[in-house]
Structure 1
Amino acid sequence: MATTLLLGQTLSFDDNPFTAGLGAVRHHSTGAILLRDGMIVEVGDASDLRARHVDCTVVDHGDALLIAGFVDSHVHYPQTGIIASWGKRLIDWLETYTFPEEMRFGDADHAQLIAGMYFDFSLANGITSAASFCTIHPESVDAYFTAAQARGMRMIGGKVMMDRNAPEGLRDTAQTGYDQSKALLEKWHGVDRLGYAITPRFAPTSTPAQLQAAGALWAESPTCAMQTHLSEQREEIQWMKELYPDHPDYLSVYEQYGLTGAGAIMGHSIYLTEREITALAATGSGVAHCPTSNTFIGSGLCDVRGLMQRGIPIGLATDVGGGSSFSMLRTMAAAYEVGQLRGDSLHAAELLWLATQGAADTLRIGDKVGNLVAGREADITVLDLSSTPVIAQRAARADDIWGALFPTIMLGDDRAVRQVYVAGRPMMPAKGHQMLPDA
């Protein structure tokens, strides 16, 4: 069995810092992670692990910080090519940029090209798992999972179901949406490290018949995820009310059709009523917080701490391409800024939780990835906490790990990602670490 010892600073969680405070965090300034066959075997002090495990390959990352690989709880990989498109509100943005781009994904070659590009960009930014919307085309799903499988990644995705309020060529039907989703689910769900997500885009682009079909499919395959959008913009909510006039609120539409519960990932969830918050908590439905897209498209400010305090699972998300960055560091910075605008200062530990264990829990893969603990899969991101001169001079003043990490969160980008391990396998060219001979 191949055994590797990674050296560097390590940071992991014993509990949720939103509820348990900084005592929930375990930091080793001279730490080590023992890997074997793609799994984390042990995390602890470097001198102790080196003394007890002498017959292994040692990779020394110096003073870099080793954390769990980032988990992106809500993304649209087909929108990779239209990221940072200028100046639209949600519905205009969909019609002007998103729908024309998604029309191209019936071409398997185009889907494969963009899927490969998306995974390369994500890995370069330390993202090792994600839940992505594909398009209505089965080819887009096959391309996504094929690319993920080739890289050995734990990924979730699904065919968008959309049978109204979309252009010709981007609509399925309640029946074809069900049939194609079921066939893709049976083809990919549970294969290697892949998981399927039943994916109605959002209530305005699905008829009641299609939402009913989506709910039926989820009931038949409850180990899958279910992903959609909820209360992103006020205009969207008004549109939903016009289409579903008999419902008291947005979430009640999904409730009626069996689309809430553990494994449900509600993108955005900004303008929630008290009843909706109570229902999300009661059903165990999760929220994907998308701060860069919420500011870029002008949607609003999600009450992350308030939802967390109600026991709602929350994960951070880039929401590419409405989100304006593939960087989870930039996404954490945006989450901090959104919190500040709400009068709530999120701590670096809380931001990191949202980007790792919190997101993994929201996707129901938190027992597999999202934390550096024994028994988890060895998805690991290595951060250089002095990746630029500006960050380096600020980190040099730090009194503790948080003072050293926070500048990288606020100012960092892909240059801070020194290495990424997927199931224990390095995915990037060697950058700033030293391979030591076997002891």
Structure 2
Amino acid sequence: MFEREGAAPAAHIWEVGALCRAIADALQARFNPVAVRGEISGFSRASSGHCYFTLKDGQGQIRCAMFRRAAGQLDFMPRDGELVEVQGQLGVYEARGDLQLIVEGMRRAGQGALFEQFLLLKARLEAEGLFDGARKRPLPAMPRGIGLVTSPGAAALHDVVTALRRRVPHIPVVLVPALVQGAPAPASICDALSKLYLLAQGRQASDGDLASKTVAAPPIDVILLVRGGGSIEDLWAFNDERVARTIVQSPVPLVSGVGHETDFSIADFCADLRAPTPTAAAELVSEPRAVWLGALELLAGRLQDGVQRQIDLRHQRLDQAAQRLGRPSGLVARQQLRLAQLAQRMRHGMLLKTQHVAQTHQALQANLPHIVQRSLMQRGERLERAALRLELLNPQRVLERGYALLTDAQGQPVMRPSQVRHGDAVHARLAEGELDLAVTQRRLL
């Protein structure tokens, strides 16, 4: 109050900083050094090495700071929910005017009420087999669809969607929102998971709004249950027994990505796989598309090389067979040459014979007609036999018996059905003409 004329003297007016220092001096004189017993909440370690947390019990709480020198002397890593005893100096943080306890020493005094509840539930569910590794399923390498349960306003949703969009933009994601903190959160999480279970089983969810949004929902092959970091109280919904029993009922693999790397919940033990963060959970179910495309390209290259090797081998075998077989026209030409040679030899022989006959005309005049006739008959018979053999080898005679000579597009004889494929063009030579045909069916005899 300000001083008015005729009024009593006004109270001393303090500067804010001076008042904070005065209160700090009073606390120093009245309480310090002080020892306090309470439960840790919201513990964090800054990059500087200083630690900040809240110490609380059922009646109150106080902010605490533990500087790097004192934190470096600890023989354990403080965690949310632990019951500890601290020694330090009570003061005022003048920049905010907050009451603050500067912790100079800390030791365990118990596990804390919430942490004790966590351990009791963990032991009971583990004894029932809910954490059994035999029931854990591997994650699908290429899920057709991903189910997601988290708060629509949480940073975890943004982290997961960003990771999935970057790595597997082609895989659809079905989000079923749920509360992830507070008393209603366990029931909300269970309800959201149950709706995804129906979709994963190919059944329609009973919720009208969800049904209208998921008429064309993709098959769900894996589910992500995620939430960002926080204190043990913030994450307590994921230590609820109802949530644990709902998780183990999942018809498809379920990944839990709750809190930070140092946070553990009952949901983590029940899930098929625990991820240290929501982003890590998304990465576990989303092998980058580039990896699969690279693998497909590699396999395609191997397949192409293998096919080309087989084609080259078949061509080589075909060339070898063609060399052994030869063309019928070549055989005819050889026989015609042979026939010409025989005819030439016959003419030469007849000439020699005529000369011999002329020389011995006088002595053999009486037997000459007989000798000449017999020689001509012998030569004629030999010529007829040679002509018959030649005629038997003539492809035209084979064609006249109803056969056809088939050749492929390269002019090579077609001997087996395996030499051509469906739709290939072939050329047929008949006794009285030629045909161009196309293969419509192959049969082996």
Give the TM interval when normalised to the shorter protein: under 0.3
**What's the TM-score, normalizing by structure 2?**
0.23
**What's the TM-score, normalizing by structure 1?**
0.23
Question: Comparing both chains, which one has the higher relative contact order based on Cα–Cα distances under 8 Å and sequence gaps of 6 or more?
Answer: 1
Q: Which has the higher strand share?
A: 1
Give the number of the structure whose alpha-carbon radius of gyration is greater.
2
